[in-house]
């Protein structure tokens, strides 16, 4: 069925393709340039995105380094605190040892006085000795726990030092990555200017031409499909657009440089 | 400094060997060396007081040391390695201190043939007099033990 839609499509296709038919080589070069400019635009945008992401990563790395530094300070403060606790424990141990000596002397004196007179003194001495013994055992236990805490702190400090070294290396590598990305972005931007000089084409026009071609090919493909299915109503729907397209196509043909 | 004789080998040479009493007041001390850990009894007639160990000074050409206790210079017999306590004794009417012996306990203990019967077992008296006499014969403490 050769419908009016088919005729319109053929004419449109002819209008769109006519420059190519008449100056195929020139048009192909322009379209290639358009595609190049399109690719270049994407390249520039990609390098900008990469630069933005690596800048964000750099900020995160800085925050990580600050957090690790803060943790390291905390560990150092913990070391001082453990030292203070150890000193307090040592002072306590010395006081208890003194008390133990007092209790030993009281026990000796009570025994010397004999059972009748010295019994109360012996009782107090025995009780004091027992309490001091328990207190000294508790101090020893605390000292052992402090030793464990100190060992854990040292281990944590070593692990943190490793993490800080890795963080510093990561920050250094990120800086190098950012520098490389800035170079890539500068090169990509410069490439656009060189492309423009090499092809003699305006990048915006070339990209527009590529987009027009893509859209026109898409339009033709869709309309061809509808035509094949025999949909005369499409002509009525498309009439205002098709008229506008034909008018634009004629105008383009009549402009200087148009064929 | 030499170590004292083996416990119970020379009870006649001790300062007080009166085992006829049913209870004996005194101190139980432990003397450690690299190879052994000996426990002894010091009767209250000899052992007067336990002190936190003050600073000791060597006496030239002697195995003894000396220290200051309440303004008095006191000779110190060292029985073993460093310890935190000093036992102030009176022997033959003179003050003398013992270092290197850890005081385990003080009190009254049942008397027995060699000294006392304590929760740690039967303990002989520390032969302090014999040790002192030995040091008098051999001031440097490098000779043979009796």
Closest to A111 (Cβ–Cβ): which among B49, B84, B108? B108
Q: Does B103 touch chain A (CB under 8 A)?
A: yes
Of A111, A122, A129, the CB nearest to B44: A111
DSSP letters, A19-45, are: HHHHSHHHHHHHHHHHHHHHHHHHHHH
Give the closest-approach CA distance of B84 to chain A in angstroms. Answer: 9
pLDDT band at B124 (very low <50, low <70, confident <90, very high): very high
- Interface size between A and B, measured as CB pairs under 8 A: 47
CA A4 to each of CA A55, A226, A230, A231, A232: distance values in angstroms, whole numbers, following the listed order: 58, 12, 10, 10, 8
- What is the C-alpha separation between B62 and B52, in angstroms, rounded? 23
Residue B111 DSSP class: B
Distance CA A76, CA A157 (A): 8
A135 to chain B, closest Cα gap in Å: 16
Residues from chain B contacting residue A104 (CB–CB below 8 Å): 27, 50, 103, 105-106
Q: Do B107 and A126 touch (CB under 8 A)?
A: yes
* Per-residue pLDDT reduced to its tens digit, B34-88: 788 899 999 999 999 999 877 899 998 888 899 999 899 999 999 987 667 999 9
Rounding to the nearest 10 degrees, give the CA dihedral for residues A241, A242, A243, A246. 120
Residue B16 pLDDT greater than 80, yes or no = no
In this prediction, residue A47 carries a pLDDT of: 92
Closest by CA to A209, choosing from A257, A157, A143, is A257
Nearest CA in chain A to B110: A111
**Number of other residues whose CB lies within 10 A of the CB of residue B86:** 24
Q: Using CA coordinates, name the residue in chain B closest to A98.
A: B52
Residues of B in contact with A114 (CB under 8 A): 25
Query: Contact at 8 Å (CB) between B59 and B129?
Result: no
**Does this complex have an ipTM over 0.95?**
no
Say yes or no: A97 contacts chain B, CB-CB below 8 A.
yes
Per-residue confidence (pLDDT) for residue A183, from 0 to 100: 94
Pairwise CA distance, residues A40 & A46, whole Å: 10
pTM, entire model? 0.64
Half-sphere exposure of B91 (CA within 13 A, CB side): 25
User: Has residue B3 got a pLDDT over 60?
Assistant: no
**Of B25, B52, B105, which is closest to A112 when you measure between CB atoms?**
B25
The nearest CA of chain B is from the CA of A89 a distance in Å of 17
- Identify whether the C-beta of residue B12 lies closer than 8 Å to the C-beta of residue B114: no
* Residue of chain A whose alpha carbon sits nearest to that of B105: A104
A108 CB near a chain B CB, below 8 Å?
A: yes
What integer pLDDT is reported at residue A63 of this predicted model? 93
For chain A (length 259 residues), average pLDDT per consecutive 10? 59 61 66 82 92 91 93 93 95 95 96 92 95 96 96 94 93 93 92 85 82 86 84 79 86 68
Interface test with B, best of A95, A98, A103, A111 (most B CBs within 10 A): A111
Say if CB B26 and CB B116 are below 8 A apart. Answer: yes
């Amino acid at each position: 069925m050769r419908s009016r839609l088919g005729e319109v499509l053929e004419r449109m296709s002819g209008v769109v393709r006519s420059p190519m038919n008449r100056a195929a080589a020139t048009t192909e070069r322009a379209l290639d340039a358009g595609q190049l400019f399109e690719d270049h635009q994407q390249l520039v945008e990609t390098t900008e995105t990469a630069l933005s992401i690596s800048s964000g990563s750099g900020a995160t790395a800085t925050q990580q380094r600050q957090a690790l530094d803060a943790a390291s300070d905390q560990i150092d403060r913990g070391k001082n605190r453990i030292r203070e606790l150890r000193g307090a424990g040592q002072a306590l141990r010395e006081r208890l040892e003194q008390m133990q000596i007092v209790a030993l002397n009281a026990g000796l004196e009570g025994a010397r006085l004999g059972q009748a007179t010295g019994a109360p003194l012996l009782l107090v001495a025995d009780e004091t000795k027992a309490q001091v013994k328990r207190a000294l055992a508790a101090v020893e236990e605390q000292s052992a726990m402090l030793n464990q805490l100190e060992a854990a702190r040292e281990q944590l400090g070593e692990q943190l030092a490793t993490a800080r070294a890795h963080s510093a290396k990561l920050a250094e590598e990120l800086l190098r990555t950012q520098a490389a990305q800035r170079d890539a972005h500068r090169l990509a931007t410069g490439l656009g200017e060189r492309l423009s000089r090499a092809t003699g084409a305006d990048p915006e026009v070339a990209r527009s031409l590529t987009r027009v071609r893509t859209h026109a090919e898409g339009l033709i493909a869709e309309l061809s499909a509808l035509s094949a299915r025999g949909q005369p109503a499409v002509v009525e729907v498309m009439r205002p657009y098709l008229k506008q397209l034909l008018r634009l196509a004629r105008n383009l043909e009549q402009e200087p440089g148009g064929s | 400094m030499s170590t004292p004789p083996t416990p119970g080998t020379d009870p006649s040479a001790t300062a007080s060997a009166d085992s006829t009493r049913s209870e004996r007041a005194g101190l139980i001390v432990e003397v450690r060396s690299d190879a052994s850990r000996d426990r002894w009894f010091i009767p209250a007639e000899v052992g007067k007081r336990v002190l936190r160990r003050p600073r000791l000074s060597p006496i030239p050409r002697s195995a003894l040391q000396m220290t200051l206790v309440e303004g008095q210079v006191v000779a110190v017999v060292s029985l073993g390695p460093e310890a935190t306590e000093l036992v102030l004794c009176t022997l033959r009417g003179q003050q003398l201190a013992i270092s290197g012996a850890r005081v385990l306990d003080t009190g009254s203990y049942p008397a027995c043939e060699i000294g006392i019967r304590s929760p740690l077992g039967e303990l002989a008296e520390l032969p302090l007099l014999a040790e002192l006499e030995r040091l008098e014969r051999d001031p440097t403490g490098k000779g043979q033990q009796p």
